[in-house]
Chain A
Amino acid sequence: MIAEALAGKRIAITGATGFVGTALVERLLRSVPGCELVLLIRDGQRTPAAKRTDREIFKNDAFDRLRATHDDDFSSVTSRVSTIAGDVTRDGLGLNEADRALFASCDIVIHSAAAVSFDSPLDSAVEINLLGPSRIANLCNEIGITPHLVAVSTCYVAGNRRGNAPEQLVSDGPFDIGIDWRSEVAASRRLRSDADAASRSRENLERFRDEARTELGAAGAPALASKTEQLRERWVKDQLVEAGRARAASVGWPDAYAFTKALGEQALTDVKGAVPVSIVRPSIIESALAEPKPGWIRGFRMAEPVLISYARGLLDEFPGVPEGTVDVIPVDIVVASIIAVAALGPERAPAITQVASGGINPLKYRMLVDNVSGWFLEHPIYDSKGQPIVVPEFRFPGRGRVQAQLGRAKKVLTAGEKVLQNLPLRGRQAEWSAQIETKRVEIERALTYVELYGLYTECEAIYQVDNLMLTWGELDDVDRAEFNFDPRSVDWPTYITQVHLPSIVQHARVKTTPGPAASTDRMARMRKQVLDPRRQVVAFDLENTLIASNVVESYSWLATRRLDTPERVRYFLRTLAEAPGLLKLDRADRTDFLRHFYRRYEDAPVEQIERDAREMFAQLIMTKSFPDGLRRVREHRALGHRTILITGALSFNVEGLRPLFDEIVAAEMSIRPDNTYSGEMVTVPPTGEARAQILLDYCDAEGFDPDECVAYADSSSDLPLFEAVGFPVAVNPETRLAAIARKRGWLVEHWSKSPGGPRPKLPIGPLLSERERRQRFGSGARR
C-alpha cells in the first residue's frame, strides 16, 4: 500500500545530508521503487550541492545494501535523484528559476533540515528550526502549489513537564504560556547584533588579542590577526549559545533546540495557508534497529559521546533517576513513520504523529545503565598504553554533584595547563601540556553533556503515540514487514548490547584491542606521506629543528674563541646580566631581537670569523645536531625534493650545512671596506610570516605547488610557514606548537642530539694556550 501510494510521486527532501535525511533517501530509493526525489541541499563552503549529494549521501555506508543489489547499475538508482541548491535560512530557500520550477513540481515535501545540536547559537537555531518550516510553506504559497508538507520536529517541543505529552500543538495544550514567535525572531536577531557590537569593544578586542598571543606566541602579525578574529567570532557564538540556553530555560524548555522547534511548529501552523501539513515528532533518534542494517548510524549524536566518555572512564557518573524513562527511538522506525505519514496523504495523515518509545515500550534509565556497563565490562575500551579501562559503577547522582565534580577537575587542569604553558618546555615534555589540554577539553565536553543531556535523562514526560499506533493499525502485513515503525518491536537489552553499542564503539574509533597505541601507526603513515616522491619543496628551520643551538650560542662561541679565561668569565657575567632584557626582546619580536643582537658582530674581522666559523661547525653545530634531522634532509634530497633552509641565523654560521640544501635563506650582514662586519643587516632576518612568504615566493618562481611542500619547524612562530604548506611537521615542538599540532593532526617528530655525544656546558670555543694567543695576535690582542 505504501509503495503503491508513493509510486510516481516526486518528493522534495530537505536535510538529506543529516542522520534522518540520509536514511530517508536510502529507504525511499530502496523500498519505494516508483518515486523520484528532489534533494534540497545547501552549497558547501567548497563543495557545490550536487557534489555533496554524491559525497555525503551516496558514499555513506547506508547505501551499501542498495549498491550490492544494483551491482552494475547503481546509476539507475541515483538517476532518480536530482539535487537543487537551496538553503532553508533564506527566504524563498534561495532557489534559482530552474530549481524553483523543479521544486514546484513536487507532490510531497519532507522537511528534515534542522540545527539539531543542543548548543547551537540562538540566532542560527531560530533561522533554521523556527523559520525553516515557515519558509517552505511561504514558498509554496508564493508559487501557488499545495504539496503535502511533512515536517520533522521533536517530541521535546512539549518542554519540561511531567506526565503524558499528547500529540497536539503546544499552543493547544494546557501549559501554553503564549509566546509570540515573531518577537522571538526579532529578539534573537537583535541579540546577534548586540553580541557582535560588544565583541568589538576595546576591552574585548584587547582580550582576544592577548589570548591569541598566549596561544600562538610570536607567530607574526597576520597569524595573530586571524586568530584574534577567530576568537572574537567564537566569543560571539558562545554569547548566543548562552543566550539560547537561558531563554529556553526561562520559558520551560530544556534547550534552544526544543524551544525553537516548538515555536517552529507554531509558526508553520500560522503561515501554512493552503499547504497541507503533517508534523512528525521523533524523540531521541539512535542507531537503526534493522534498516538499512542493524546499528547503522550517521554522525556522532547525543547519547554516543556520553556513552563513549563513560566507557573511556572520563564520565564516571551521569545524572538521572534510575526509574526515569530515556525516550530513545531507532532511526529506521522514524524513517518508516515519516514515509507512512507521507503515503497516507494530506487528508488521512494525522496533523501530528509522535514517534517515541516512552509511552508504549519504555526504556528505564536503570536498564540502560545496567546494559551499558555490563557490555563495557565485557568489551572494554583500551587506553593508549593498551590497558583495558574498567567502567565505574553508576550511583545515579544528582546533576549538581556531577557538575561540581567536573568543575573542580576542570579548574585543576586549567591551572596546570597555564603553568606548563609558561615553562620553556620542548619536545616530549611539551606534550604533557598538550595531554593536559586534551584532558581538560574532554572534561569540558563531559561537563557540557551533563549540562545539556542531563535534562533529558531527568525528563519525566511520557510521549503518547496514539496517532502513530492508529496509522500502524491501518497497515497490511506487507507494509508492516517492509516499513516497521512499531516501537514495541524493540527489545531494549538486545538493541543496546547487540545493535547500538557495537556500532557506536566502531564509529568512535576507540581502541578495542590491547596493545600499543595506534597513534604511532598514524605518525608512520604521515611520515610516509611526507617522504613521498610527489612532494616538491621541503623547508627546514634550523634552531631546535636540526640543531639544539641558537644564535646566542653561536655568537658566544665565536666571541670567546680568542679570549683567555678571565676574559671569558667577564664575558659570561656580562651576558648573564643582559639575558633578561634579551629574552624579553625575543618574546616581543624575533626580528627586532636578531637585529639588536647581531649588532654585536660590529667590527669583527670577516676573515677571522669565517675561519672560526668553520671550526665552530664541527665543534658546536655538528655536536649539537640532531642526526635524525640531518638524515631526514638527506632522505628528502635522495627523493629528489628541493630542500631549503630558512633561518634567522647569520649566513656564515650555517655555511657548513650548505651541501644539505639547495637553497639557504639566512640573515646577511654587510661588510665594510676594511673587511670587518658592520653589525647591520643587508636583509631582514627571515622570521614569522616572512618565512612563509619566502617559501611561497620560491614556489612561485620555480613553479612548485605549496600544497606539495613540507615544512619542518619547532615553534608556534612558524605557524604561518606551517599553514602555507601541505605537509607541516612539528619538530620537538614547544608547548604551544605541541598543542596546535595535536589539534590539527600534524606529524610530530622528536629528534634529539646523539646520545652520549659531548655536552659542552657552555658554548665556548676551545681555550688557546697563552703562547698561541700571543703568537697569533701579538700581545694585548683582544677579540
Chain B
Amino acid sequence: MPRPGFVLDVDRSTPPTLFWHGEGFRLEKLPADRSRVIYAPEPHDAIDDVDGAIRTALLHPIDMDPLPSLLFPGMKLTIAFDDVSLPLPKMRRPDLRQRIIEQVLTMAADAGVDDVHLIAALALHRRMHEFELRHALGDRVYDAFEPRGLLFQHDAEDPDNLAFLGTTDQGEEIEINKRAAESDLLIYVNINLVAMDGGWKSTAVGLASYRSLRHHHNPTTMEASHSFMDQHASELHKSTWRMGKVMRDHGPKVFQIETTLNTDTFPQPFEFLAKREWEWNAKDRALYLASAKALAKAPPRTARKIFHGIEAPHQMTSIQCGEVEAVHKVTTQNVYDQQLVEVEGQTDILMLGIPYICPYNVNSIMNPILVMCTGLGYFFNLYRGKPLVREGGVVILTHPTTNEFHPVHHPSYIDFFEEVLADTTDPHVMSQKWEQQYAEDDWYRHLYRTTNAYHGVHPFYMWYWGSHGMKHVGKVIIVGGDAATVRKLGFTPASTMNDALEIASDTVGRHPTITHMKTPPLMIADVK
C-alpha cells in the first residue's frame, strides 16, 4: 500500500534534504524547528492490463456512445494527441498515446473509416522531431501515416488551415485547426500529468491559434488563476470552459480520452531522488555521492544528455473517455488522489529545487526564462486553497540559471531575454509594449512553421505564467544562479542557501518559517 504524501518537521537530527539544482543536486541542512519538507505521495499501483483497460474505456465511455458506434465509413476522423511536453520525463516505450491510438485505429479500420488524420496538438509549441513522434506514436503508426502525409503537426500560423468557430459571451474568439473543426469526430488523446491538463484545455488550447490563445494567455487572466491546478479557482480554465461551450455548440463532436499516471518518476539508478532522505540506505547514499560528483564534473552538455535520456517508469492508473467535462471530472479526482498532500498553513519562505526539465525544454535547454516559469509558474501553482507561501513572503529557487538557450528551439527566447527583459520584467508592461511585435514577427513565424522553434510569443506566455507568483511574493532568490542572468530576470542571486536566508531576512525577518516542496515527483499542496 503506497504511503500518502508527508510533511516533515525538521529537527536537529533531520539529515540534509536533497534539492534539485538543474542537471544536478545539492544537499541543504535546513534550520531546525521552523522548517518543513513536503514529500510527494508514493506512486499508486498501476493498472496491470493497460491494453485491456483502454479497450474497456473505449467501449464504455462516460455520457457518450461506445467509440465503434461513432465510427462510420466515409467519415472524417481526426485524432489529436498531446505533444512532447507530456509526460515528464518521457515515458518508457510503448507510450500511452501509441497504445491508445493503435486501438482507436483498429476500431476505425473495422468500421471502414479511411479518412484519418493524426495531429500533434502543438498550440504554439515547437514542432516535434521525428524521433519524438516515433517515441509517442510508435514506429508502426508513424510509418503508416507520415509517408502518406497523414501525420500533421498543428500549425497555428497557417491561415488556410484554421477555422473560426465563434466567440464566447465575453468576446473570446475561438479559432482552431480546420481539419479538426471540420471532422465528423475529433478524438483527443490526453496524458493528464497534472490537474491542469485536459478538459476543454486540450482542444481549445492545443489546437488553437494565437488569435484564440491571447484571450486567456495574458497577465490579467494568469494573475487571477489561483491556482492552475484548481479548475474552479482558475480564470484560465474558466476561459477555456467558456470556449468549450462554443465548441460544443459550433465545433466538431469531441471524443475525449484522458489518462492519469502514477508518480513513479525515476528509473534506476536515480530512484533515490524519490526517496525520503532518512530512509536512504548505503546504496542510495553511494549513488547520490557518485552521481552528484560525476554530474558536477561532467560538462553541462553531457549532464544534460544524461538527464534528458531518462525514461520514467510511470504507469497508467486510470483511463476514461467520452464527453469532455464528465471525463475531466473523473480524471481530476484521480490526479488529486495520487498527488494531493495536506499541508497546514502557509510559510514565510518557500524553497523549490528547480530540476533539469519542464514542459518546454524536453530534449533541450532549461533556459533562464524557463527557470522562472518552472519556479513561479509551475511549482508555485502546485497548490489548492492558498499558496504555500504567504503574501509578501520569499521564494528561494535552486538552479544554476546560466545564460544558455537552445538556438533552434528557443530563438525568440534569446531575443526576449536580451531585448524585452532589458526593458521590463513587468508582465503587464511587456504585454502592452512588446507582445504583439514578437507574436507577429515574420522571422519567428517562419522558424515556428518550418523548423523546431517555439512561436515568437511563447517566451511572453512563459513569463505571464509566473505573473501570479511574482505579484504574490515579496522576493525571489536563486541559489547557485549565475549572478548577471538572475539579476536580468529581476531576481536576487545567492551563492549558498545560507546567503539566501540572510538576504531573505530583510523581507521576512530573522526567524521565518520555511517550507521546502520537494518536487518532482509531482504533488499538489492542499493548503489548509
CB distance from A547 to the nearest CB of B (A): 10
Q: Which residues of B contact A766 (CB under 8 A)?
A: 130-131
Bound: A756/B130 CA distance, A:
22
Q: Which residues of A contact B443 (CB under 8 A)?
A: 630, 634, 659-660
Count how many chain B residues have C-beta atoms less than 8 Å from C-beta atoms of the other chain: 28
Across the interface, do A627 and B404 meet the contact criterion of CB distance under 8 Å? no
Chain A residues with Cβ under 8 A from B453's Cβ?
Answer: 618, 622
B403 within 8 A of A: yes
Residues in chain A near residue B411, CB distance under 8 A: 622, 627, 630
B127 — nearest CB in chain A belongs to which residue?
A618
Q: A617-B451, A618-B451 are in contact. Are A757 and B406 (CB under 8 A)?
A: yes
The residue on A at minimum CB distance from B404 is A756
CB-CB nearest in chain B for A620: B408
| Closest beta carbon of chain B to A43's beta carbon, Å | 50
Interface contact tally, CB-CB below 8 A: 72
A80 within 8 A of B: no
B415 at the interface (CB under 8 A from A): yes
Complex CA gap A623/B147 in Å reads 26
Q: A656-B450, A656-B451, A775-B143 given as contacts; is B414 within 8 A of A618 (CB)?
A: no
Q: Are A756 and B365 in contact (CB under 8 A)?
A: yes
**CA of A647 to CA of B419, assembled, Å:** 28
Q: Please measure, in the bound complex, the distance between the C-alpha atom of A766 and the C-alpha atom of B414, giving whole angstroms.
A: 26
A630 to B415, CA, bound (A): 10
A28 to B453, CA, bound (A): 73
Give complex CA distance A659, B450 in Å.
Answer: 12
Q: A659-B442, A759-B301 are in contact. Are A754 and B450 (CB under 8 A)?
A: no
Q: Within the complex, what minimum Cβ distance (angstroms) separates B368 from chain A?
A: 11
Contact at A754–B143, with CB atoms within 8 Å? Answer: no
* Contact code string A618-636 (vs B, CB < 8 Å = 1, else 0): 1100111101101100100
Chain A residues with CB under 8 A of B143 = 775
CA distance A185 to B453 in the complex (A): 75
Residues on the B chain within 8 Å of A627, using CB: 405, 407, 411, 414-415
Cβ of B452 under 8 Å from chain A: yes
- Bound complex: CA A753 to CA B453 (Å): 16
- Taking CB atoms, residues of chain A closer than 8 Å to B431 are none
Query: Does the CB pair A623–B402 fall under 8 Å?
Result: no
Whether B404 and A622, one on each chain, are in contact in the complex, defined by CB atoms closer than 8 angstroms, is no
| A757 and B452 alpha carbons, distance in the complex (Å) | 14
Give B484 Cβ to nearest chain A Cβ, in Å.
13
Interface string of B404-430 (1 = CB under 8 A from A): 111110010011001100000000000
Nearest CB on A from B413, distance (A): 10
Q: Which residue of A lies closest to B363 (CB)?
A: A758
Contacts of B365 in A (CB 8 A): 756-757
Whether A480 is near chain B, meaning CB under 8 Å from some CB there, is no
Q: Tell me whether B447 and A755 are in contact (CB under 8 A).
A: no
Q: How far is the CA of A617 from the CA of B405 in the complex (A)?
A: 18
B interface footprint on A752-777 (CB within 8 Å = 1, 0 otherwise)? 01111111000000100000000100
CA gap between A110 and B403 in the complex, in Å = 67
Report yes or no: B415 in contact with A754, Cβ–Cβ below 8 A: no
Shortest beta-carbon distance from A754 to chain B in Å: 4
Answer whether residue A614 sits at the interface, using C-beta atoms and an 8 A cutoff: yes
In the bound complex, CA of A435 to CA of B413 (Å): 35
Residue in A618, A630, A634, A659 whose CB lies within 8 Å of B452 = A618
A660 neighbours in B (Cβ, 8 Å): 443
Residues of B378-405 whose CB lies within 8 A of A: 402-405
Residues on A with beta carbons closer than 8 Å to the beta carbon of B447:
622
* Contact call A756/B451, Cβ cutoff below 8 A: no
A residues sitting closer than 8 Å to B (CB atoms) are: 614, 617-619, 622-625, 627-628, 630-631, 634, 656, 659-660, 753-759, 766, 775
What are 19 A-B contacts defined by CB distance under 8 Å? A618-B450, A622-B451, A622-B453, A625-B407, A627-B411, A634-B415, A634-B443, A656-B446, A659-B442, A659-B443, A659-B446, A754-B414, A755-B402, A756-B300, A756-B365, A756-B402, A757-B365, A757-B405, A758-B408
Interface residues of B (CB under 8 A from A): 130-131, 143, 147, 300-301, 365, 402-408, 411, 414-415, 418-419, 441-443, 446-447, 450-453
A617-B450, A627-B407, A757-B408 given; 7 more Cβ-contact pairs under 8 Å: A622-B453, A625-B407, A627-B411, A660-B443, A754-B405, A757-B365, A766-B131
3 pairs of A and B residues whose beta carbons are closest in the complex: A756-B404, A618-B451, A754-B407
